[in-house]
């Protein structure tokens, strides 16, 4: 399988090179040249498979040119064996035909573990084979950083530099990153917001001269295709658990960078019956404003109780725009260049095509807290603020009550105790046993100005072979 850029000018690459490259040389994102498609009969035959085996069925077509089947199966077994629930992604029922899929049973208590624990193993495999070293540079709004560090910290061929917005992630999220010890792990707190961090990462991938030609950058953000690929699987898992593919499903997805919900869009294109995808956002609602009114316009980024979604520039939205424009890379490039200068819209027929599948909602902090409280009082089930936004958006946007609605539960509530307290509940979510001493561990991180040259200089000085 070959991979092409959403901006149409970079060369097509195989899986290994896409894994290591991250951002395409023309500034675009890589997508498969063509997608595998599964028949209903084939999907039906996967009922009852363990999660790792289902993951193999769904993902192997994307990597088969690069990784032997037995090696890939071993990676998947190792990846998902460390999750704390045998089902890996268990479903919890909230109401009639309403469910939460718990995607926070991995080692860092967030859905990012599904992709990043695998990504670390993929990088180790490919870099060992090539005898190559890379510098991982990533930006996080809270959860990607800890999952990336956990997934990659044992990799012998990488140095890890994770940028997070200073004082704009929860304390648990920060400590999960900054208390992991290792000479190859570097946490950078940028005096800015997530979009500033993400911009620095993209700019650095576009010009890697600060590394002196001695190594290259590798991506752990969802610009890396491997991240999206791994997230497709749990849509199939949820559907199969609730009667799919013989009935359609609806999903509500808390999203800031559009990667998790784009995986659902791909699952549908690969043959899974999905009738609705709900984009659930907070006050940073650029995706909602586009999907509800065909206007893509950046506003000032606001700090909310759901910090992992405090994002205004949604990188993976480019991948959907590429499809909506008939895979015309030049059209996507022009559109995004114009979007950097002011508001843009797409042709009405393209927007209406997107609306056949997608709905959206923006949920403010008060409504988020109300939802946390209401669901707990109804079910004694505690939602984190991001999942609460997903549940509220699902209820506001639901098209058909006969279709199961599944909200993706993206993080453990213990990561956001301030939001739980603000909801008025007296219950205090507890960290699991393996993190019980988190607040006693020593932290290590460096605070830098919102300046790409300063960040690049720090990386150039501190990677191990510098």
398 inside domain: yes
β 158-165/185-190 pair status: parallel
Could you please report the per-residue DSSP string of 73-113? Answer: HHHHHHHHHTSSSTTSS-EEEEETTEEEEE---STTSBTHH
Pair 155, 134: CB distance under 8 Å: no
Q: How many structural domains is the chain composed of?
A: 1
As annotated, the active-site residues are: 112
185 inside domain: no
Whole-model pTM?
Answer: 0.94
**What would the two tokens of residue 366 be?**
């008060």
State how far the Cα of 396 lies from the Cα of 227, in Å rounded to an integer.
29
State how far the Cα of 320 lies from the Cα of 327, in Å rounded to an integer.
9
410 inside domain: yes
State how far the Cα of 136 lies from the Cα of 146, in Å rounded to an integer.
13
What pLDDT shows up at residue 156?
A: 86
β 98-102/91-95 pair status: antiparallel
Residues of the chain above pLDDT 70, percent: 100
What pLDDT shows up at residue 375?
A: 98
14 inside domain: no
80 inside domain: no
β 358-362/274-281 pair status: parallel
Q: Over range 344-348, report the average pLDDT.
A: 97
197 inside domain: no
Q: Over range 5-33, report the average pLDDT.
A: 95
Pair 330, 8: CB distance under 8 Å: yes
Task: Say yes or no to pLDDT of 416 above 80.
Answer: yes
Q: What is the pLDDT of residues 313-334, one digit of tens each?
A: 899 999 999 999 999 999 999 9
What pLDDT shows up at residue 131?
A: 93
H or E element, residue 371: helix 365-379
**Local structure of 253: helix, strand or coil:** strand
Q: What is the mean pLDDT of the chain?
A: 95
Q: What is the pLDDT of residues 87-141, one digit of tens each?
A: 999 999 999 999 999 999 999 999 999 999 999 999 999 999 999 999 999 999 8
Task: Say yes or no to pLDDT of 435 above 60.
Answer: yes
359 inside domain: yes
**What would the two tokens of residue 321 be?**
């725009």
Q: What is the pLDDT of residues 219-249, one digit of tens each?
A: 998 889 999 999 999 999 999 999 999 999 9
465 inside domain: no
What pLDDT shows up at residue 466?
A: 54
Task: Say yes or no to pLDDT of 58 above 90.
Answer: yes
Give me the sign of the Cα torsion angle 287, 291, 296, 300: negative
User: Domain range spanning residue 376?
Assistant: 87-108+231-422
State how far the Cα of 233 lies from the Cα of 223, in Å rounded to an integer.
18
**What would the two tokens of residue 14 be?**
């195989």
Q: What is the pLDDT of residues 143-183, one digit of tens each?
A: 889 999 999 988 889 999 999 999 999 999 999 999 998 88
Q: Cis bond leading into 245, ω under 30°?
A: yes
Q: Over range 436-448, report the average pLDDT.
A: 96
**Local structure of 135: helix, strand or coil:** strand
Centroid of chain to Cα 406: 17
CATH code, 92: 3.40.50.1100
Q: Over range 293-321, report the average pLDDT.
A: 94
The 8-class DSSP code of residue 117 comes to H
Q: Which residue reads 């190859």 in tokens?
A: 184
Q: What is the pLDDT of residues 356-406, one digit of tens each?
A: 999 999 999 999 999 999 999 999 999 999 999 999 999 999 999 999 999
């Amino acid at each position: 399988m070959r991979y092409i850029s959403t901006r149409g000018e970079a060369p097509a690459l195989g899986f290994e090179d896409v894994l290591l490259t991250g951002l395409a040389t023309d500034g675009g994102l890589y997508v498969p040249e063509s997608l595998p498609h599964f028949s209903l009969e084939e999907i039906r035959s996967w009922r009852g498979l363990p999660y790792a085996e289902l993951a193999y069925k769904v993902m192997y077509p994307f990597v088969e040119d690069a990784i032997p089947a037995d090696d890939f199966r071993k990676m998947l077994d190792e990846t998902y064996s460390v999750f704390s629930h045998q089902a890996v992604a268990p479903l919890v029922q909230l109401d009639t035909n309403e469910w939460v899929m718990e995607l926070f049973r991995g080692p860092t208590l967030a859905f990012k573990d599904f992709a990043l624990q695998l990504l670390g193993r993929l990088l180790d495999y490919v870099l060992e084979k090539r005898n190559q070293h890379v510098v991982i540079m990533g930006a996080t709004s809270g959860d990607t950083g800890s999952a990336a560090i956990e997934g990659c910290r044992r990799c012998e061929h990488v140095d890890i530099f994770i940028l997070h917005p200073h004082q704009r992630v929860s304390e648990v999220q920060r400590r999960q990153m900054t208390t992991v010890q290792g000479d190859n792990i570097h946490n950078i707190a940028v005096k800015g917001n997530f979009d500033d961090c993400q911009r620095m990462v993209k700019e650095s991938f576009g010009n890697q001269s600060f590394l002196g030609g001695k190594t290259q950058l590798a991506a752990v953000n969802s610009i890396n295709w491997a991240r999206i690929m791994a997230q497709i699987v749990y849509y199939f898992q949820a559907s199969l658990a609730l009667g799919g593919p013989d009935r359609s499903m609806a999903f509500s997805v808390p999203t800031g960078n559009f990667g998790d919900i784009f995986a659902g869009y791909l699952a549908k294109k690969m043959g899974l019956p999905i009738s609705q995808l709900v984009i659930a956002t907070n006050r940073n609602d650029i995706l909602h404003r586009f999907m509800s009114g065909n206007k893509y316009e950046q506003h000032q980024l606001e700090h909310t109780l759901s910090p992992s979604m405090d994002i205004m520039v949604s990188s993976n939205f480019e991948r959907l725009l590429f499809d909506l424009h008939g895979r015309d890379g030049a059209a996507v490039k022009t559109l995004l260049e114009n979007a950097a200068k002011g508001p843009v819209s797409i042709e009405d027929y393209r927007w209406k095509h997107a609306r056949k599948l997608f709905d959206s909602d923006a949920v403010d902090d008060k409504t988020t807290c109300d939802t946390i409280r209401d669901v707990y009082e109804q079910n004694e089930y505690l939602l984190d603020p991001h999942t609460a936004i997903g549940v509220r958006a699902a209820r506001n946007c639901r098209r058909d009550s006969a279709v199961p609605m599944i909200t993706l539960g993206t993080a453990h509530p213990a990561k956001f105790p301030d939001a739980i307290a603000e909801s008025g509940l007296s219950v205090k979510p507890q960290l699991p046993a393996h993190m019980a001493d988190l607040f006693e561990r020593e932290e290590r991180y460096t605070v830098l100005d919102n300046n790409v040259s300063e960040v690049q200089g720090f990386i150039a000085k501190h990677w191990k072979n510098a």
